[in-house]
Structure 1
Protein backbone atom coordinates (compact mmCIF):
# COMPACT_ATOMS: atom_id res chain seq x y z
CA UNK A 1 0.00 0.00 0.00
CA UNK A 2 1.57 3.29 -1.13
CA UNK A 3 0.31 6.68 0.00
CA UNK A 4 1.13 9.62 -2.25
CA UNK A 5 1.20 13.35 -1.50
CA UNK A 6 3.16 16.43 -2.50
CA UNK A 7 5.26 19.00 -0.66
CA UNK A 8 5.87 21.97 -2.89
CA UNK A 9 7.02 20.40 -6.15
CA UNK A 10 8.26 17.32 -4.31
CA UNK A 11 6.36 14.08 -4.97
CA UNK A 12 6.30 11.86 -1.88
CA UNK A 13 5.48 8.15 -1.95
CA UNK A 14 5.11 6.46 1.42
CA UNK A 15 5.29 2.67 1.73
CA UNK A 16 4.51 0.56 4.77
CA UNK A 17 7.94 -1.05 4.99
CA UNK A 18 11.54 -0.62 3.83
CA UNK A 19 11.20 -3.66 1.57
CA UNK A 20 8.08 -2.29 -0.11
CA UNK A 21 9.77 1.11 -0.49
CA UNK A 22 12.70 -0.51 -2.28
CA UNK A 23 10.45 -2.47 -4.61
CA UNK A 24 8.24 0.52 -5.47
CA UNK A 25 11.23 2.78 -6.17
CA UNK A 26 13.06 0.13 -8.21
CA UNK A 27 10.01 -0.59 -10.38
CA UNK A 28 9.52 3.09 -11.20
CA UNK A 29 13.23 3.72 -11.73
CA UNK A 30 13.58 0.71 -14.04
CA UNK A 31 10.61 1.88 -16.11
CA UNK A 32 12.09 5.35 -16.46
CA UNK A 33 15.52 3.99 -17.45
CA UNK A 34 13.85 1.83 -20.10
CA UNK A 35 11.92 4.84 -21.40
CA UNK A 36 15.12 6.93 -21.55
CA UNK A 37 16.96 4.19 -23.40
CA UNK A 38 14.19 4.11 -26.00
CA UNK A 39 15.29 7.60 -27.09
CA UNK A 40 18.95 7.78 -26.01
CA UNK A 41 21.94 5.57 -26.73
CA UNK A 42 23.23 5.78 -23.14
CA UNK A 43 22.02 6.88 -19.72
CA UNK A 44 24.26 8.44 -17.07
CA UNK A 45 23.34 7.77 -13.43
CA UNK A 46 24.77 9.06 -10.14
CA UNK A 47 24.42 6.53 -7.31
CA UNK A 48 24.18 7.16 -3.56
CA UNK A 49 26.11 4.91 -1.19
CA UNK A 50 24.47 4.20 2.17
CA UNK A 51 22.61 1.42 3.99
CA UNK A 52 19.38 3.29 3.16
CA UNK A 53 19.89 2.22 -0.45
CA UNK A 54 20.18 -1.53 0.24
CA UNK A 55 16.60 -2.60 -0.43
CA UNK A 56 16.30 -0.35 -3.46
CA UNK A 57 19.51 -1.57 -5.10
CA UNK A 58 18.63 -5.20 -4.42
CA UNK A 59 15.20 -4.70 -5.98
CA UNK A 60 16.69 -2.86 -8.97
CA UNK A 61 18.72 -5.98 -9.79
CA UNK A 62 15.49 -7.93 -10.31
CA UNK A 63 14.52 -5.75 -13.28
CA UNK A 64 15.75 -6.18 -16.82
CA UNK A 65 17.92 -3.15 -17.52
CA UNK A 66 20.40 -2.77 -20.36
CA UNK A 67 23.31 -2.06 -18.05
CA UNK A 68 25.74 -2.09 -20.98
CA UNK A 69 24.19 1.26 -21.93
CA UNK A 70 24.56 2.80 -18.45
CA UNK A 71 27.45 5.04 -17.34
CA UNK A 72 27.66 5.03 -13.54
CA UNK A 73 29.00 7.62 -11.12
CA UNK A 74 29.00 7.85 -7.35
CA UNK A 75 28.37 11.09 -5.53
CA UNK A 76 30.79 11.19 -2.61
CA UNK A 77 33.76 9.45 -1.00
CA UNK A 78 35.91 9.67 2.12
CA UNK A 79 39.32 11.22 1.56
CA UNK A 80 42.14 8.85 2.44
CA UNK A 81 40.13 5.67 2.87
CA UNK A 82 41.36 2.43 1.32
CA UNK A 83 39.23 1.91 -1.81
CA UNK A 84 38.81 -1.74 -0.76
CA UNK A 85 37.69 -0.92 2.79
CA UNK A 86 34.13 -2.01 3.53
CA UNK A 87 33.23 1.60 4.46
CA UNK A 88 34.42 3.07 1.15
CA UNK A 89 31.48 4.22 -0.92
CA UNK A 90 32.93 2.90 -4.15
CA UNK A 91 33.29 -0.50 -2.49
CA UNK A 92 29.70 -0.27 -1.24
CA UNK A 93 28.43 0.15 -4.79
CA UNK A 94 30.76 -2.48 -6.18
CA UNK A 95 29.54 -5.05 -3.66
CA UNK A 96 25.84 -4.30 -4.01
CA UNK A 97 25.43 -3.67 -7.69
CA UNK A 98 28.48 -3.21 -9.92
CA UNK A 99 29.83 -6.71 -9.24
CA UNK A 100 26.45 -8.13 -10.31
CA UNK A 101 25.87 -6.19 -13.54
CA UNK A 102 28.14 -4.80 -16.25
CA UNK A 103 27.60 -1.09 -16.92
CA UNK A 104 29.22 0.47 -19.97
CA UNK A 105 31.45 2.46 -17.62
CA UNK A 106 31.87 3.03 -13.88
CA UNK A 107 33.53 6.20 -12.66
CA UNK A 108 34.78 6.08 -9.09
CA UNK A 109 36.19 8.98 -7.12
CA UNK A 110 39.75 8.21 -6.02
CA UNK A 111 39.91 8.56 -2.23
CA UNK A 112 43.70 8.27 -2.23
CA UNK A 113 44.45 10.80 -4.94
CA UNK A 114 47.69 12.65 -4.14
CA UNK A 115 45.97 15.94 -4.91
CA UNK A 116 42.31 15.91 -3.79
CA UNK A 117 41.66 19.28 -5.43
CA UNK A 118 42.82 17.88 -8.75
CA UNK A 119 40.62 14.83 -8.19
CA UNK A 120 37.65 17.19 -7.77
CA UNK A 121 38.51 18.82 -11.09
CA UNK A 122 38.92 15.44 -12.79
CA UNK A 123 35.54 14.22 -11.58
CA UNK A 124 33.82 17.50 -12.41
CA UNK A 125 35.18 17.22 -15.96
CA UNK A 126 33.73 13.71 -16.26
CA UNK A 127 30.32 14.97 -15.16
CA UNK A 128 30.52 17.77 -17.70
CA UNK A 129 31.53 15.31 -20.40
CA UNK A 130 28.72 12.89 -19.50
CA UNK A 131 25.95 14.93 -17.86
CA UNK A 132 23.84 12.85 -15.53
CA UNK A 133 20.31 11.93 -16.53
CA UNK A 134 19.29 10.48 -13.16
CA UNK A 135 20.42 10.78 -9.54
CA UNK A 136 19.71 8.27 -6.78
CA UNK A 137 19.82 10.21 -3.50
CA UNK A 138 19.84 9.49 0.18
CA UNK A 139 19.19 12.11 2.86
CA UNK A 140 21.34 12.24 5.98
CA UNK A 141 20.10 12.39 9.55
CA UNK A 142 21.13 16.07 9.52
CA UNK A 143 19.41 16.64 6.17
CA UNK A 144 22.54 16.48 4.08
CA UNK A 145 22.53 15.66 0.37
CA UNK A 146 25.62 13.70 -0.65
CA UNK A 147 28.22 15.02 1.84
CA UNK A 148 26.87 18.57 1.74
CA UNK A 149 26.32 18.94 5.48
CA UNK A 150 24.52 22.12 6.62
CA UNK A 151 27.72 24.04 7.39
CA UNK A 152 29.20 23.41 3.92
CA UNK A 153 25.98 23.28 1.86
CA UNK A 154 25.42 26.11 -0.61
CA UNK A 155 22.43 26.26 -2.93
CA UNK A 156 24.49 28.50 -5.25
CA UNK A 157 27.79 26.62 -4.91
CA UNK A 158 30.08 27.55 -7.85
CA UNK A 159 31.83 24.18 -7.71
CA UNK A 160 30.60 20.88 -9.17
CA UNK A 161 32.74 18.67 -6.93
CA UNK A 162 34.51 19.84 -3.79
CA UNK A 163 36.33 18.86 -0.60
CA UNK A 164 34.32 19.14 2.61
CA UNK A 165 34.91 18.60 6.30
CA UNK A 166 32.25 16.34 7.79
CA UNK A 167 29.94 17.59 10.53
CA UNK A 168 29.98 15.69 13.86
CA UNK A 169 26.36 14.64 13.29
CA UNK A 170 27.26 13.23 9.90
CA UNK A 171 30.22 11.30 11.30
CA UNK A 172 28.05 9.94 14.15
CA UNK A 173 25.52 8.71 11.59
CA UNK A 174 28.20 6.48 10.12
CA UNK A 175 28.45 4.77 13.52
CA UNK A 176 24.65 4.58 13.83
CA UNK A 177 24.58 2.93 10.39
CA UNK A 178 27.05 0.32 11.60
CA UNK A 179 29.78 1.39 9.17
CA UNK A 180 32.35 2.30 11.83
CA UNK A 181 32.78 1.25 15.46
CA UNK A 182 33.94 4.58 16.88
CA UNK A 183 34.03 8.26 15.96
CA UNK A 184 37.81 8.18 15.76
CA UNK A 185 37.61 5.71 12.89
CA UNK A 186 35.34 7.91 10.77
CA UNK A 187 37.25 10.08 8.27
CA UNK A 188 36.98 13.81 8.81
CA UNK A 189 36.99 14.94 5.16
CA UNK A 190 35.39 13.82 1.93
CA UNK A 191 34.90 14.55 -1.75
CA UNK A 192 31.32 15.35 -2.75
CA UNK A 193 29.24 16.42 -5.71
CA UNK A 194 27.68 19.76 -4.78
CA UNK A 195 24.00 20.60 -4.47
CA UNK A 196 23.68 22.70 -7.66
CA UNK A 197 25.33 19.91 -9.65
CA UNK A 198 22.81 17.40 -8.28
CA UNK A 199 19.85 19.73 -8.85
CA UNK A 200 20.96 20.36 -12.43
CA UNK A 201 19.99 16.77 -13.25
CA UNK A 202 16.52 16.34 -14.78
CA UNK A 203 15.32 13.38 -12.68
CA UNK A 204 16.02 12.76 -8.98
CA UNK A 205 14.95 9.80 -6.87
CA UNK A 206 15.47 10.07 -3.10
CA UNK A 207 15.26 6.78 -1.20
CA UNK A 208 14.99 7.41 2.55
CA UNK A 209 13.67 4.75 4.95
CA UNK A 210 13.98 4.33 8.77
CA UNK A 211 12.97 6.08 11.96
CA UNK A 212 16.43 7.62 12.26
CA UNK A 213 15.58 9.83 9.28
CA UNK A 214 12.21 11.05 10.60
CA UNK A 215 13.39 14.49 11.71
CA UNK A 216 15.32 15.02 8.48
CA UNK A 217 12.28 14.08 6.42
CA UNK A 218 10.09 16.41 8.49
CA UNK A 219 12.51 19.26 7.81
CA UNK A 220 12.78 18.31 4.14
CA UNK A 221 9.01 18.32 3.67
CA UNK A 222 7.73 20.90 6.13
CA UNK A 223 10.62 23.06 7.29
CA UNK A 224 11.96 26.26 5.73
CA UNK A 225 13.97 25.89 2.54
CA UNK A 226 17.45 26.70 3.78
CA UNK A 227 20.81 25.07 4.26
CA UNK A 228 20.11 24.13 7.88
CA UNK A 229 18.39 21.20 6.12
CA UNK A 230 20.05 20.98 2.71
CA UNK A 231 17.47 18.43 1.48
CA UNK A 232 14.71 21.05 1.82
CA UNK A 233 15.87 22.42 -1.56
CA UNK A 234 14.36 19.32 -3.18
CA UNK A 235 10.95 20.99 -2.86
CA UNK A 236 12.00 23.43 -5.59
CA UNK A 237 13.20 20.91 -8.19
CA UNK A 238 11.03 20.19 -11.22
CA UNK A 239 11.11 16.39 -10.92
CA UNK A 240 11.99 14.70 -7.63
CA UNK A 241 10.30 11.68 -6.12
CA UNK A 242 10.93 11.01 -2.44
CA UNK A 243 10.36 7.42 -1.31
CA UNK A 244 9.79 7.01 2.42
CA UNK A 245 8.40 4.36 4.73
CA UNK A 246 5.97 4.95 7.59
CA UNK A 247 8.82 5.36 10.04
CA UNK A 248 10.81 7.96 8.12
CA UNK A 249 7.60 9.88 7.32
CA UNK A 250 6.21 9.66 10.84
CA UNK A 251 6.68 13.39 11.60
CA UNK A 252 5.51 14.78 8.26
CA UNK A 253 2.34 16.87 8.27
CA UNK A 254 -0.32 15.34 6.01
Structure 2
Protein backbone atom coordinates (compact mmCIF):
# COMPACT_ATOMS: atom_id res chain seq x y z
CA UNK A 1 0.00 0.00 0.00
CA UNK A 2 1.50 3.32 -1.11
CA UNK A 3 0.89 6.23 1.23
CA UNK A 4 1.52 9.96 0.84
CA UNK A 5 1.04 12.47 3.65
CA UNK A 6 0.50 16.14 2.81
CA UNK A 7 0.90 19.28 4.87
CA UNK A 8 -1.30 21.22 2.48
CA UNK A 9 -4.71 20.14 1.16
CA UNK A 10 -4.22 22.01 -2.11
CA UNK A 11 -1.15 19.87 -2.80
CA UNK A 12 -3.16 16.76 -1.90
CA UNK A 13 -5.88 17.76 -4.36
CA UNK A 14 -3.32 18.43 -7.07
CA UNK A 15 -1.65 15.07 -6.49
CA UNK A 16 -4.95 13.21 -6.83
CA UNK A 17 -5.89 15.21 -9.92
CA UNK A 18 -2.45 14.51 -11.38
CA UNK A 19 -3.01 10.77 -11.13
CA UNK A 20 -6.37 11.00 -12.89
CA UNK A 21 -5.11 13.38 -15.58
CA UNK A 22 -2.06 11.22 -16.26
CA UNK A 23 -4.28 8.16 -16.67
CA UNK A 24 -6.51 10.05 -19.11
CA UNK A 25 -3.42 11.01 -21.12
CA UNK A 26 -1.90 7.55 -21.11
CA UNK A 27 -5.19 5.73 -21.74
CA UNK A 28 -7.68 8.06 -23.46
CA UNK A 29 -10.46 5.45 -23.20
CA UNK A 30 -9.90 4.73 -19.50
CA UNK A 31 -12.73 3.84 -17.12
CA UNK A 32 -12.88 5.92 -13.94
CA UNK A 33 -14.73 5.05 -10.75
CA UNK A 34 -15.80 8.30 -9.11
CA UNK A 35 -16.85 9.36 -5.62
CA UNK A 36 -18.85 12.22 -4.11
CA UNK A 37 -19.05 14.04 -0.78
CA UNK A 38 -16.79 16.77 0.55
CA UNK A 39 -13.49 14.92 -0.02
CA UNK A 40 -13.39 15.00 -3.85
CA UNK A 41 -14.56 18.60 -4.37
CA UNK A 42 -11.05 20.04 -4.39
CA UNK A 43 -9.77 17.13 -6.45
CA UNK A 44 -12.35 17.76 -9.16
CA UNK A 45 -11.59 21.49 -9.10
CA UNK A 46 -7.89 20.77 -9.55
CA UNK A 47 -8.63 18.21 -12.29
CA UNK A 48 -10.69 20.79 -14.21
CA UNK A 49 -7.81 23.28 -13.96
CA UNK A 50 -5.26 20.67 -15.04
CA UNK A 51 -7.40 19.53 -17.96
CA UNK A 52 -7.75 23.11 -19.19
CA UNK A 53 -4.06 23.96 -18.78
CA UNK A 54 -2.77 20.75 -20.36
CA UNK A 55 -5.59 20.11 -22.84
CA UNK A 56 -6.48 16.77 -21.27
CA UNK A 57 -9.49 15.35 -23.09
CA UNK A 58 -12.18 13.15 -21.53
CA UNK A 59 -14.10 12.58 -24.76
CA UNK A 60 -13.42 8.83 -24.69
CA UNK A 61 -13.41 8.38 -20.91
CA UNK A 62 -16.22 6.42 -19.22
CA UNK A 63 -17.15 6.95 -15.58
CA UNK A 64 -19.06 4.93 -13.00
CA UNK A 65 -20.06 6.44 -9.68
CA UNK A 66 -20.03 4.58 -6.41
CA UNK A 67 -23.46 5.38 -5.07
CA UNK A 68 -26.65 7.41 -5.06
CA UNK A 69 -29.39 8.11 -2.56
CA UNK A 70 -32.69 6.28 -2.96
CA UNK A 71 -35.57 8.65 -3.65
CA UNK A 72 -33.68 11.70 -4.93
CA UNK A 73 -34.21 12.73 -8.54
CA UNK A 74 -31.13 13.73 -10.59
CA UNK A 75 -32.17 17.38 -10.46
CA UNK A 76 -32.33 17.38 -6.66
CA UNK A 77 -29.43 19.50 -5.41
CA UNK A 78 -28.50 16.82 -2.86
CA UNK A 79 -28.42 13.96 -5.35
CA UNK A 80 -25.05 12.69 -6.44
CA UNK A 81 -26.06 13.05 -10.09
CA UNK A 82 -26.51 16.78 -9.49
CA UNK A 83 -23.23 16.89 -7.53
CA UNK A 84 -21.25 15.28 -10.37
CA UNK A 85 -22.67 17.63 -12.98
CA UNK A 86 -22.00 20.65 -10.80
CA UNK A 87 -18.48 19.74 -9.72
CA UNK A 88 -17.07 17.93 -12.76
CA UNK A 89 -19.07 16.77 -15.76
CA UNK A 90 -20.30 20.19 -16.89
CA UNK A 91 -16.75 21.57 -16.77
CA UNK A 92 -14.86 18.98 -18.84
CA UNK A 93 -15.46 17.59 -22.33
CA UNK A 94 -16.86 14.22 -21.28
CA UNK A 95 -20.08 13.19 -23.09
CA UNK A 96 -22.81 12.73 -20.51
CA UNK A 97 -23.86 9.44 -22.12
CA UNK A 98 -20.51 8.05 -20.98
CA UNK A 99 -21.18 8.90 -17.33
CA UNK A 100 -23.07 6.37 -15.23
CA UNK A 101 -24.46 6.56 -11.70
CA UNK A 102 -26.68 4.24 -9.68
CA UNK A 103 -30.34 5.09 -10.19
CA UNK A 104 -31.99 5.74 -6.85
CA UNK A 105 -35.31 6.33 -8.60
CA UNK A 106 -35.47 2.98 -10.45
CA UNK A 107 -38.85 1.25 -10.26
CA UNK A 108 -37.11 -2.05 -9.54
CA UNK A 109 -33.98 -1.32 -7.54
CA UNK A 110 -32.83 -4.94 -7.39
CA UNK A 111 -33.05 -5.25 -11.17
CA UNK A 112 -31.13 -2.02 -11.57
CA UNK A 113 -28.40 -3.26 -9.21
CA UNK A 114 -28.00 -6.41 -11.30
CA UNK A 115 -27.80 -4.28 -14.46
CA UNK A 116 -25.16 -1.97 -12.92
CA UNK A 117 -23.05 -4.98 -11.98
CA UNK A 118 -23.20 -6.27 -15.54
CA UNK A 119 -22.03 -2.86 -16.77
CA UNK A 120 -19.15 -2.85 -14.29
CA UNK A 121 -18.16 -6.39 -15.26
CA UNK A 122 -17.91 -5.43 -18.93
CA UNK A 123 -16.15 -2.11 -18.26
CA UNK A 124 -13.52 -2.90 -15.59
CA UNK A 125 -12.56 0.27 -13.73
CA UNK A 126 -8.96 1.43 -14.26
CA UNK A 127 -8.89 3.80 -11.28
CA UNK A 128 -11.42 3.93 -8.44
CA UNK A 129 -11.51 7.08 -6.31
CA UNK A 130 -12.67 6.55 -2.72
CA UNK A 131 -13.31 8.58 0.39
CA UNK A 132 -13.62 7.05 3.85
CA UNK A 133 -16.56 7.27 6.24
CA UNK A 134 -16.12 7.77 9.98
CA UNK A 135 -17.34 4.21 10.58
CA UNK A 136 -15.05 2.75 7.94
CA UNK A 137 -17.53 2.64 5.08
CA UNK A 138 -16.41 2.90 1.46
CA UNK A 139 -19.11 3.81 -0.98
CA UNK A 140 -22.12 3.21 1.27
CA UNK A 141 -20.93 -0.23 2.39
CA UNK A 142 -21.68 0.03 6.09
CA UNK A 143 -20.02 -2.12 8.80
CA UNK A 144 -21.80 -5.46 9.21
CA UNK A 145 -21.19 -9.13 9.96
CA UNK A 146 -20.91 -9.72 6.23
CA UNK A 147 -20.73 -7.46 3.20
CA UNK A 148 -22.48 -7.67 -0.15
CA UNK A 149 -20.07 -8.11 -3.06
CA UNK A 150 -22.17 -6.49 -5.79
CA UNK A 151 -24.27 -3.38 -6.22
CA UNK A 152 -27.12 -3.34 -3.71
CA UNK A 153 -29.57 -1.25 -1.73
CA UNK A 154 -28.30 -0.41 1.74
CA UNK A 155 -30.00 1.04 4.81
CA UNK A 156 -27.74 3.84 6.00
CA UNK A 157 -26.37 3.84 9.54
CA UNK A 158 -27.68 6.69 11.64
CA UNK A 159 -24.07 7.81 12.10
CA UNK A 160 -23.73 8.10 8.32
CA UNK A 161 -27.00 10.03 8.02
CA UNK A 162 -25.90 12.37 10.80
CA UNK A 163 -22.53 12.92 9.12
CA UNK A 164 -24.28 13.78 5.83
CA UNK A 165 -26.95 15.96 7.44
CA UNK A 166 -24.70 19.00 6.97
CA UNK A 167 -25.57 18.89 3.27
CA UNK A 168 -29.33 18.95 3.95
CA UNK A 169 -31.68 21.36 5.71
CA UNK A 170 -32.19 18.83 8.51
CA UNK A 171 -31.47 15.23 9.45
CA UNK A 172 -35.06 14.35 8.57
CA UNK A 173 -34.34 15.16 4.92
CA UNK A 174 -31.38 12.77 4.66
CA UNK A 175 -32.50 9.63 2.81
CA UNK A 176 -32.49 6.40 4.79
CA UNK A 177 -31.35 4.22 1.89
CA UNK A 178 -28.86 4.35 -0.94
CA UNK A 179 -27.74 2.25 -3.89
CA UNK A 180 -24.04 1.45 -3.69
CA UNK A 181 -21.39 -0.55 -5.46
CA UNK A 182 -20.44 -3.50 -3.30
CA UNK A 183 -16.97 -4.03 -1.86
CA UNK A 184 -16.41 -6.83 -4.35
CA UNK A 185 -17.05 -4.43 -7.22
CA UNK A 186 -14.73 -1.83 -5.71
CA UNK A 187 -11.92 -4.35 -5.27
CA UNK A 188 -12.12 -5.34 -8.95
CA UNK A 189 -10.73 -1.94 -9.98
CA UNK A 190 -7.20 -2.15 -11.39
CA UNK A 191 -6.06 0.63 -9.06
CA UNK A 192 -7.66 2.28 -6.04
CA UNK A 193 -7.07 5.85 -4.89
CA UNK A 194 -8.16 6.48 -1.29
CA UNK A 195 -8.23 10.10 -0.11
CA UNK A 196 -8.87 11.05 3.53
CA UNK A 197 -8.69 14.35 5.37
CA UNK A 198 -9.10 15.58 8.93
CA UNK A 199 -8.22 14.67 12.51
CA UNK A 200 -11.71 13.25 12.98
CA UNK A 201 -10.75 10.49 10.50
CA UNK A 202 -7.41 9.60 12.12
CA UNK A 203 -8.73 6.66 14.12
CA UNK A 204 -10.59 5.09 11.22
CA UNK A 205 -7.57 5.61 8.94
CA UNK A 206 -5.47 3.64 11.41
CA UNK A 207 -8.10 0.87 11.55
CA UNK A 208 -8.48 0.74 7.79
CA UNK A 209 -4.81 0.75 6.86
CA UNK A 210 -3.12 -1.10 9.71
CA UNK A 211 -5.84 -2.85 11.71
CA UNK A 212 -7.25 -6.32 11.15
CA UNK A 213 -9.14 -7.02 7.94
CA UNK A 214 -12.75 -7.18 9.07
CA UNK A 215 -16.23 -6.38 7.80
CA UNK A 216 -16.63 -4.24 10.93
CA UNK A 217 -14.41 -1.78 9.04
CA UNK A 218 -15.19 -2.24 5.33
CA UNK A 219 -12.25 -0.08 4.25
CA UNK A 220 -9.85 -2.55 5.87
CA UNK A 221 -10.59 -4.90 2.95
CA UNK A 222 -8.52 -2.52 0.81
CA UNK A 223 -5.50 -4.16 2.43
CA UNK A 224 -6.28 -7.17 0.22
CA UNK A 225 -5.92 -5.18 -3.02
CA UNK A 226 -2.63 -5.24 -4.92
CA UNK A 227 -2.54 -1.57 -5.97
CA UNK A 228 -3.87 0.97 -3.47
CA UNK A 229 -2.62 4.55 -3.29
CA UNK A 230 -3.54 6.54 -0.18
CA UNK A 231 -3.40 10.34 0.03
CA UNK A 232 -3.78 11.79 3.53
CA UNK A 233 -3.46 15.16 5.15
CA UNK A 234 -1.23 15.21 8.22
CA UNK A 235 -4.22 15.24 10.58
CA UNK A 236 -5.78 12.12 9.08
CA UNK A 237 -2.36 10.41 9.19
CA UNK A 238 -1.57 11.42 12.78
CA UNK A 239 -2.10 7.96 14.33
CA UNK A 240 -0.19 6.00 11.69
CA UNK A 241 3.27 4.66 12.40
CA UNK A 242 6.02 6.77 10.76
CA UNK A 243 6.87 5.78 7.20
CA UNK A 244 4.46 7.52 4.82
CA UNK A 245 5.96 9.90 2.27
CA UNK A 246 5.62 13.64 2.70
CA UNK A 247 4.48 15.97 -0.06
CA UNK A 248 4.99 15.17 -3.72
CA UNK A 249 7.95 12.81 -3.74
CA UNK A 250 7.42 9.40 -5.40
CA UNK A 251 5.27 6.92 -3.53
CA UNK A 252 6.97 4.63 -1.06
CA UNK A 253 5.66 1.28 0.08
CA UNK A 254 4.75 2.19 3.64
CA UNK A 255 2.58 -0.77 4.59
TM over 0.5: yes
Query: C-alpha deviations, 1:104-128, integer Å up to 9, x for none?
Result: 4111222111111111122112212
The list of structure 1 runs, each at least 4 consecutive aligned residues, that deviate by more than 4 angstroms after superposition, is none
Q: List alignment gaps of at least 5 residues for structure 1.
A: 1-9
Could you say what secondary structure the match of 1:225 adopts? Answer: coil
Does structure 2 retain, via aligned residues, the 8 Å contact 1:222–1:253? no
Does structure 1 retain, via aligned residues, the 8 Å contact 2:103–2:179? no
- How far apart, CA to CA, are the structure 2 residues paired with 1:116 and 1:152? 23
Aligned to 1:5: none
1:228 and 2:216 matched: yes
Does structure 2 retain, via aligned residues, the 8 Å contact 1:174–1:186? yes
Aligned to 1:194: 182
- How far apart, CA to CA, are the structure 1 residues paired with 2:233 and 2:68? 26
Does structure 2 retain, via aligned residues, the 8 Å contact 1:116–1:163? yes
Aligned to 1:245: 233
Query: C-alpha deviations, 1:43-102, integer Å up to 9, x for none?
Result: 111100111111111111122322001011111011111221221111111100001112
Aligned to 1:6: none
| TM-score between both structures, scaled by the size of structure 2 | 0.87
Does structure 1 retain, via aligned residues, the 8 Å contact 2:141–2:183? yes
CA RMSD of aligned residues (A): 1.5
Shift of 1:152: 7.0
1:91 and 2:82 matched: yes
1:55 and 2:42 matched: yes
Residues matched between the structures, number? 236
Could you say what secondary structure the match of 1:73 adopts? Answer: strand
Could you say what secondary structure the match of 2:133 adopts? Answer: coil
| TM-score between both structures, scaled by the size of structure 1 | 0.88
Q: 1:226 to 1:49 in 2, by over 3 A?
A: same
Q: List alignment gaps of at least 5 residues for structure 2.
A: 243-255
Q: 1:190 to 1:127 in 2, by over 3 A?
A: same
